[in-house]
Amino acid sequence: MAEILLQNVEKPDSHTLDTYLAGGGYKSLEKALTIKPETLIQNVKDSGLKGRGGAGFPAGLKWSFIPKDPGLQKYLCCNADEGEPGTYKDRGIIEKDPHLLIEGMIITSYAIGADKAYIYIRGEFEFGRRRLEEAIKEAYKKGYLGKNIMGKDFSLDIHVHAGAGAYICGEETALLESLEGYRGQPRKKPPFPALAGLYGKPTVINNVETLSCIPAIVAKGPEWFTGIGPEKSPGPKIFCVSGHVKNPGLYELPLGTTLREIIYTHCGGIRDDKKFKAVIPGGVSAPMLPEADLDTPMDFESLAAKGSMLGSGAVVVMDETACIVKAAYIIMRFFSHESCGKCTPCRCGTPWLTRILKRLEQGEGRDGDVKELERLCTNIFGRTFCPLGDGAVMSLRGALKHFRDEFVYHEQHKECMATS
């Protein structure tokens, strides 16, 4: 499959407008501006594009929730707060092909009737932020942004806002809070952002990769898009492969590519030809899968059926030398550190889990620790304010489901099964 999202990244000076234009850039915008917004929304609906940020909500459907009242201020927010451990796909687009994102945002803004758009970018992406600022400046100069874009009755300003280092701000309502200048904590839903989002106005929040799919959908039509990958989860997807593989990196492949194909065909197999042990298929919130599940196609539905999820498409591979307890501990430590503090089960539960896992990992396990982990997971799951706490539990539950014996070994023998 020809690359869509990563087609420019290898080119020299890929981030410049000239390179982008040379590759046919902003042609989709020109075309989109001749199409009625409703038709655009319908096209994106028809394309079956699902949000690439993690939740996989159909993008066109999300857009269609925006009230049509032309007098109402609407906003587009691009979620570039790429914080899920293992994920670096958005960073690739932002740093190497910022105009792809900008074009996608302009088309989306036109479709939903927004005249202001924000890119909420992860605070650590300082280089990416500068790249985006430069690209936006170029786009203004060429008239792709600003008043009366391409001579049409459509104006748009894009602002870049850097986050301050909180994972939770990748959650869409916490992102809005942070963007408004408040403490980054999730808002209660309903009201959903489509009705009352940024500054209480209808707002669409899409991930960088989602928005980057839009120019191609406009250019080639929804049928082309649905032709890629499985019927229910069509389209290209960037997989960020890391961990114990020979060639880690970004791979743009159709959704539905199996884990085995990604790891063994595209990434060259396990590092040092060691034995495969486990893979986290979609960022650390996604439960890990054992070798038996390697033939699972990487799409929303197939992974859900295996009790995991596609998430952000961050594939973290662990070989036989990896200690699952240690992995679980590090992941839980991350969630505990990033818990925003708003709700009780996540704020108090994740540090508790972390403390137990730390002891287990360090050989200070006590009888009943594994049971206690499971009990605490039950007490957290489904009771938190936002999905952060659920994600923490899902990752641990995944590890316990497939590698319970390793945890028990740690508890009973005060040492590691994998490394001892």
Partner 1 sequence: MVTLKINGKEITVAEGTLIVDAAKAAGYDIPTFCYHKDLLGVGSCRMCLVEIEGQKKMHPSCITPVMQDMSVLTETETVLSARASMLEFLLSNHALDCPVCDKGGECELQDMVLEHGPRKGVHAEPKLRFHDRDYALSDVIIKNSNRCVQCVRCVRVCEEIVGRGVLGSIGRGAHQEETSFLRTYLDCDSDGMCIAVCPVGCYMRRPFRYRARPWDLRGSKTVCPYCATGCRMTIQERDGEVVRSVANQEDGFNGIMLCARGRFGYDFINSAERLKRPLMKKDGTFEEVSWDRALSVVKEKFGSTEGSKIGAVASARLTNEEFYLFERLVRGVFKSANIDSTSRWDPAGAGAFISATGINGGGTPVTECLESDTVLIVGSQVSDENPVTDYFVRRTARDKAINLIIASPRAMKLDSSAALTLRHAPARNEPLLNALCFELYKAEGKKLSGVKGVEALKGLDAAKLASSAGLDEDEVKAAAEKLKGSGTVAIMAGTDFIRYNDGLDALALLVEVLKSLGKEVKVLPLLDRCNQRGAWDMGVHPGFGPGYTATEGGLGSYGMLDAAAEGRMDAMYVVGEDIVSLFPDEGFARQALEKVKFLVVQDIFLSETAKMADLVLPGASFAEKDGTFTNQEGRVQAISKLLPPPGSARTDLDVIGAIGASIDAGFAASDLASLTGEIRKEINMYSEVESVWGEGTFVKASGSGLTGSKKTAKAKKEKKDKDYPFELVTGNHLFHSGRFSRRADILKGLSKEATVEISSEDAEKLGVKEGDRVKVKGMHYEAELPVKTKRGTRSGVAFIAENYEQVPVNRFLRRGEPLQRVSITPL
Site residues (CB under 8 A) for partner 1, limited to 373-412: 379, 382-385
Site residues (CB under 8 A) for partner 1, limited to 186-215: 188
**Which of 348, 362, 387, 401 contacts partner 1 by CB under 8 A?**
348
Task: Tell me if 409 sits within 8 A of 417, measured CB to CB.
Answer: yes
343 lies in the binding site for partner 1 (CB under 8 A): yes
Question: Toward partner 1, which CB reaches closer, 36 or 188?
Answer: 188
- Alpha-carbon span 297 to 231, nearest angstrom: 12
- The least distance separating partner 1 from the CB of residue 283, rounded to whole angstroms, comes to 19
318 lies in the binding site for partner 1 (CB under 8 A): no
**Which of 170, 349, 391, 398 contacts partner 1 by CB under 8 A?**
349
Structure tokens at 415: 């040492």
- The least distance separating partner 1 from the CB of residue 289, rounded to whole angstroms, comes to 24
Per CB under 8 A, the segment of 103-111, 253-261, 263-271, 355-363 that binds partner 1 is 355-363
- The least distance separating partner 1 from the CB of residue 383, rounded to whole angstroms, comes to 6
- The least distance separating partner 1 from the CB of residue 175, rounded to whole angstroms, comes to 15
**Which of 82, 138, 177, 338 contacts partner 1 by CB under 8 A?**
338
| Interaction mask 92-131, partner 1, x per CB under 8 A | ----------------------------------------
Question: Toward partner 1, which CB reaches closer, 83 or 229?
Answer: 83
372 lies in the binding site for partner 1 (CB under 8 A): yes
181 lies in the binding site for partner 1 (CB under 8 A): no
Residue 284: which of 164, 380, 399, 362 has the closest Cα?
Answer: 399
Residues that bind partner 1 (CB under 8 A): 166, 183, 188, 336-345, 347-352, 355-356, 359, 366, 372, 379, 382-385
